[in-house]
């Protein structure tokens, strides 16, 4: 079966956005709202088990401030905090301080040159995706991705397979002619649930996750002069991820 499309997760996969991107943006939003909530690096690692910013805030309050009143006012507080967090996060991305991970740009160029179709499947807010792409690959890169499946477009976020199934439906492709790229256990569960063969590139927050079922688990996509480490599975005859290596998976 000939490979036709690559589907990418965003946070942790295209770029290391969590620790120094989303996390400080949540903290700044809490501060601006006069709340004394603060998510340090370790706590944020724990909270990442819950995907989606609004869902993460709700989980945090449930777990660490169980007596906080959960009324209509709370619902609008969560919505406002999340809007503020998105504004702060996209401003941060606009400074260009969060680069793409190793090999991402190279692989995207190679895939485009070979006529592969590209898509995104993420739980993050759509404008976070477009802002990251604009400030790393340039404005025109938005058109490279035929489908950007993001945020609340499906009610059940990762680990549910829904976001990948939605992307596949839009692409009008079966899972067997696509590959997914993920960095986390929740992400992998989601892509595998949609029947997608998946390449995992880990990061500090996900290094200890369980990646059973992944086609291969790597330190990163690697570059011709900076090989990646293979942590699980086999990258046949290759020391970085290019189309030749992907076709052999």
Q: How far apart are CA 165 and CA 152, in angstroms?
A: 14
Query: Which of 131, 141, 186, 201 is close enough to bind ligand XBP by CB under 6 A?
Result: 186
> Which residues in the 88-127 window bind ligand XBP by CB under 6 A?
122-125
> Which residues in the 184-213 window bind Mg ion by CB under 5 A?
184, 187
What are the φ/ψ torsions at residue 229 (nearest 5 degrees)? -95, 135
> Which residues in the 190-249 window bind ligand XBP by CB under 6 A?
none
Among 108-116, 182-190, 195-203, 222-230, which window interacts with Mg ion (CB under 5 A)? 182-190
* Of residues 27 and 242, the one with the C-beta less far from ligand XBP: 27
* Of residues 73 and 201, the one with the C-beta less far from Mg ion: 201
Closest distance of CB 45 from Mg ion, Å: 13
Question: Is residue 11 annotated as part of the catalytic site, yes or no?
Answer: yes
CB 202 within 8 A of CB 101: no
Among 10-18, 58-66, 140-148, 195-203, which window interacts with ligand XBP (CB under 6 A)? 10-18
Query: Which of 5, 11, 159, 194 is close enough to bind Mg ion by CB under 5 A?
Result: 11
Question: Is residue 9 annotated as part of the catalytic site, yes or no?
Answer: yes
User: Distance of alpha carbon 196 from its chain centroid, rounded?
Assistant: 16
Catalytic residue among 11, 162, 220, 242: 11
Closest distance of CB 34 from Mg ion, Å: 31
151 lines the binding site for Mg ion (CB under 5 A)? no
Among 68-76, 184-192, 201-209, 222-230, which window interacts with ligand XBP (CB under 6 A)? 184-192
12 lines the binding site for Mg ion (CB under 5 A)? yes
Q: What is the 3-state secondary structure (H, E, C) of the chain?
A: CCCCEEEECCECCCECCHHHHHHHHHHHHHHHCCCCCCCCHHHHHHHCCCCCHHHHHHHHHHHHCCCCCCCHHHHHHHHHHHHHHHHHHHHHHHCCCCCECCCHHHHHHHHHHCCCEEEEECCCCHHHHHHHHHHHHCHHHHHHEEEEECHHHCCCCCCCCHHHHHHHHHHCCCHHHEEEEECCHHHHHHHHHCCCEEEEECCCCCCCCCCCCCCEEECCCCECCECCCEEEECCCCCCCCCHHHHHHC
Active site residues: 9, 11
> What is the contact surface with ligand XBP in residues (CB under 6 A)?
9-12, 18, 22, 51-53, 85-86, 122-125, 128, 158, 184, 186-187
> What is the contact surface with Mg ion in residues (CB under 5 A)?
9, 11-12, 183-184, 187
């Amino acid at each position: 079966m000939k490979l036709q499309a690559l589907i990418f997760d965003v946070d942790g996969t295209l770029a290391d956005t969590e620790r120094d991107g989303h996390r400080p943006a949540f903290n700044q939003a809490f501060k601006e709202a006069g709340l004394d909530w603060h998510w340090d690096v370790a706590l944020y690692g724990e909270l990442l088990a819950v995907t989606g910013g609004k869902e993460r805030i709700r989980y945090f309050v449930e777990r660490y401030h169980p007596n906080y009143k959960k009324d209509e006012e709370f619902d609008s507080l969560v919505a406002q905090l999340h809007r503020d967090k998105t504004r702060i996060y996209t401003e941060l991305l606009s400074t260009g301080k969060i680069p793409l991970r190793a090999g991402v740009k190279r692989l995207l160029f190679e895939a485009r040159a070979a006529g592969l179709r590209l898509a995104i499947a993420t739980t993050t807010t759509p404008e976070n995706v477009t802002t990251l792409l604009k400030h790393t690959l340039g404005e025109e890169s938005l058109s490279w991705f035929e489908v950007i499946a993001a945020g609340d477009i499906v009610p059940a976020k990762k680990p549910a397979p829904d976001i990948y199934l939605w992307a596949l439906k839009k692409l009008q492709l079966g899972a067997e002619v696509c590959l997914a790229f993920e960095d986390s256990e929740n992400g992998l569960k989601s892509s595998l649930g949609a029947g997608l063969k998946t390449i995992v590139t880990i990061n500090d927050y996900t290094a200890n996750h369980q990646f059973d079922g992944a086609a291969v688990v790597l330190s990163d996509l690697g570059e011709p002069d900076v090989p990646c480490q293979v942590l699980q599975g086999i990258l046949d005859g290759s020391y970085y991820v290019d189309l030749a290596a992907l076709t052999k998976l």
